[in-house]
A and B are shown apart, each in its own frame.
Chain A
Amino acid sequence: MQRQTLFFKDARYFQISFQCLLLAYGIFYLQWAAEWWLYAIYTGVSLGTQLAAELIRQRGWPEWHNMGWIKSALISALGLCLLLKTNHVYVAAGAAAVSILSKYLITFRGKHIFNPSALGIAAAVWITGEAWVSPGQWGSGIVLMLGVFCTGFIVVSRVQKLDVSLAFLGTFAGLLFLRQVVYLGWPADYFIQSVSTGSLLLFSFFMITDPKTTPNHPIARIVWAIIIAAVAFYCAAFKFMNATPIWALVAMQPLVPLFDRLFTAKKFQWHTQKQVLHSRY
């Protein structure tokens, strides 16, 4: 068993590290370096908006020893960096601002409703029409390996819960397999090409897992993830849409308060240094 350190207590460190790893892979291997300005805007505006919101909420400077707000803003910003493309500064800044502000403005019983990055992406793509998601941007070579590594790391370190990830990924990949290989009769490499995309990996491990915007009760969480997977699969396989998991997530997020009402459970809190350690997982 590994040491009970902050890194393993707070999944956000792991998320930030892994998202940075993916971003570095993109920059060094996939020619993303030219988009540095985009990453700068996402990060800058996310941190700025979050700071401004915290200033207002706390009526003063946030406590520096509690870095929660920075971690949270960084994860949202990295989510945008890894998925959302645009050529316009105002769209990038708008997406980042919407992501962060939604956490403060669109809430229900003290819990924000939308996953910040997913909402930012959806708003930029569907409202401005000047942004897009490139599902093919990852290639397929190294992504499966990263996925296995990522899952393995989570299993071994128990850094975050896998229930939502596995419920989503299992359902989505399972339905794709049934459709593509079993029903349509494509060879296995056709299916592998479908699932070995970085966007799916990111979504499964770092977006849908956000404990703040998933139902609190474990069963509700799994059912909810399965619904998202089914909707995403349907839109991809029969409506020929792209990046469907993100749109399905945003569409299904208003169900979370309903699930929370039907299945009562304790609201999630990030572990911080002051909390006890043995309540993990």
Chain B
Amino acid sequence: MKKIIATATVLAIFGQHLWAFCGFYVSKAAGTLENKTSQVILVRDGNRTVITMYNDFTGNLKDFAMVVPVPVVLQKQDVKVVDNGIFQRLNDYSAPRLVEYYDNNPCAMREEYKYDSNAPMVKSMTTESVGLLAAGAAKRKVTIEAQYTVGEYDILILSAKESNGLKIWLDENGYKIPAGAEEVLDPYIKSNLKFFVVKVNMAEKQKSNNAFLRPLQIRFASPKFMLPIRLGMANANGDQDMLVYAFTKTGRVETTNYRTVNMPTDKNIPLFVQPNFARFYADAFQHTWAKEGKSAAFLEYAWDVSPANYVKCDPCVSNPPDYNDLVQAGVWWIKHDDYENYVNEFDGNKGKVFFTRLHIRYNRSSFPQDLSFQTTPNMEAFQARYIITHPATGSLTCDAGKAYLKDLKERRRKEMKMLALLTGKDVDEWQEDISAVKDEEDNAEAMYATLALAMPKEQEKTGIPAGLIVLGTVLVGGAGVMRWKGMI
């Protein structure tokens, strides 16, 4: 009776504030720089890691500077700049999705098809230039382990003996360290981490034709599989978001020091959510995040994107990553042949690539530790998928039509309950969207607007959660039985 017709992605969730990476920006202009959402590609196999950091810094390039703790000294060949579009493509491919179904008219069977998709976001940047200073390092017990220029970036790899020296060195060279960042410098130095310090080389920048700063990609071998978010917390107000796109040979990536929680998925939500799906998902994410105790990573997508796996998404909201995308992302084990030759379909070891998208919303109090990850052999596919269903159109006066209308009313009530459950907000909040839904006259009695009036208000949960009651009952019951049997 139903048919998948069209899909739309959430692109606008992070809207205007896609700031870059999880290290920290240090600024010459006090207090103007902050990073709110970062995007990172992680590629991991064995001890080898490739990290790509999205850079959508939009301020004055003279002020751009980034500090990222890394486990080893990176040489020039370990660093490169990659195509900016890779992040957009991965985001499009893996974003939470809205799926549309159309009901058939039980009085007159017919089908309809419709496709739509969101236009990708376009960003623009300004260009300006400044060099990088590296002076007085020895005095501050800061060692410049390596120094080179890659693409439009001047890069220094620093190691330091003590945090104060590093802080003073950065200060002396014109970088303002945010107050909160200091507490993590010392543990990082003692953990033998190096500091990957990046500025824009204006001469190189002007030579290149790119209007934007390209993503930086670093590769290294280290048993540490982590992302240093603590340093990035320094200059952020409140919660920050991070999207991690991870590629492995074996299966899903999960956090080891925080829970990894699946987003609610395959839920039927009301039709009126469609024009504001991004808002719906932002609410649903916020609510789920709070409900799960804030201290967790959320799985939004997981799929086997190996060349041999023909179905790389279902439904696909954009093209799955192809050979070039994977190479850009840093998946080093994939070979062009693997990708082009479907003959090898059944050779399980040929170019296996598993994709995981994690969404992490963090703040200082809920995330005392940096993110540690592990790869698992879990190849189970997952997508954050929400379903809207268009009602049947045309006359519904036949008996089957009347029965259908009754079902439709019931279904729409459930959809609105689900909406409230997922977002933690009353259906009333969607008043404008509800009245914007143009139902046909024949559906009048099942109109959302009418049904919404009768919806119970979402109560703030105060009392004991149901689970706890069940748990308590089981325990007391168990104790009772044991008592009865004379065990206790």
A, B from the same assembly: yes
| Interface-central residue, B224, B254, B368, B474, by most chain A CB under 10 Å | B368
Judge whether B374 and A5 touch: CB under 8 Å: no
Q: Does chain B have a CB within 8 A of A264?
A: no
With A and B bound together, what is the CA distance between A7 and B225 in angstroms?
Answer: 45
Q: Does chain A have a CB within 8 A of B15?
A: no
Judge whether B257 and A31 touch: CB under 8 Å: no
Judge whether A187 and B296 touch: CB under 8 Å: no
Judge whether A131 and B377 touch: CB under 8 Å: yes
| Set A24, A31, A86, A242: member contacting B474, Cβ < 8 A | A24
Within the complex, the shortest CB–CB distance from A281 to chain B, in Å, comes to 18
Binary per-residue interface labels of chain B (162-195) against chain A in the complex, 1 for a CB within 8 Å, 0 otherwise:
0000000000000000000001001100110000
Residues of chain A lying within 8 A (CB to CB) of residue B488: 3, 5-8, 13
Tier of interface size on chain B: 35 or more
Q: Does chain B have a CB within 8 A of A163?
A: no
With A and B bound together, what is the CA distance between A25 and B474 in angstroms?
Answer: 12
Binary per-residue interface labels of chain B (352-383) against chain A in the complex, 1 for a CB within 8 Å, 0 otherwise:
00000000000001001100101011111000
Which A residue sits closest to B71, measured CB to CB?
A: A240
Judge whether B368 and A189 touch: CB under 8 Å: yes
Residues 425-471 of B contacting A (Cβ, < 8 Å): 467-468, 470-471
Tier of interface size on chain A: 35 or more
With A and B bound together, what is the CA distance between A87 and B467 in angstroms?
Answer: 26
Judge whether B368 and A136 touch: CB under 8 Å: no
Judge whether A240 and B471 touch: CB under 8 Å: no
With A and B bound together, what is the CA distance between A177 and B323 in angstroms?
Answer: 46
Judge whether A30 and B478 touch: CB under 8 Å: no
Judge whether A136 and B254 touch: CB under 8 Å: yes
Residues 50-93 of B contacting A (Cβ, < 8 Å): none
With A136-B255, A136-B257 known, 20 other A-B pairs at CB within 8 A are A6-B486, A13-B482, A24-B470, A28-B467, A86-B377, A87-B379, A129-B250, A130-B377, A132-B376, A132-B377, A135-B257, A138-B259, A139-B259, A141-B293, A184-B186, A184-B187, A185-B186, A187-B368, A192-B368, A193-B257
User: Can you list 11 residue pairs at the A/B interface with Cβ under 8 Å?
Assistant: A17-B478, A129-B377, A137-B259, A139-B293, A180-B187, A190-B187, A190-B368, A193-B368, A240-B224, A240-B372, A242-B256
Interface on B for A, CB 8 Å cutoff? 183, 186-187, 190-191, 223-225, 250, 254-262, 292-293, 295-296, 365, 368-369, 372, 374, 376-380, 467-468, 470-471, 474-475, 478, 482, 486-488
Interface on A for B, CB 8 Å cutoff? 3, 5-8, 13, 17, 20-21, 24-25, 28-31, 85-87, 129-132, 134-141, 180, 183-187, 189-190, 192-194, 239-242
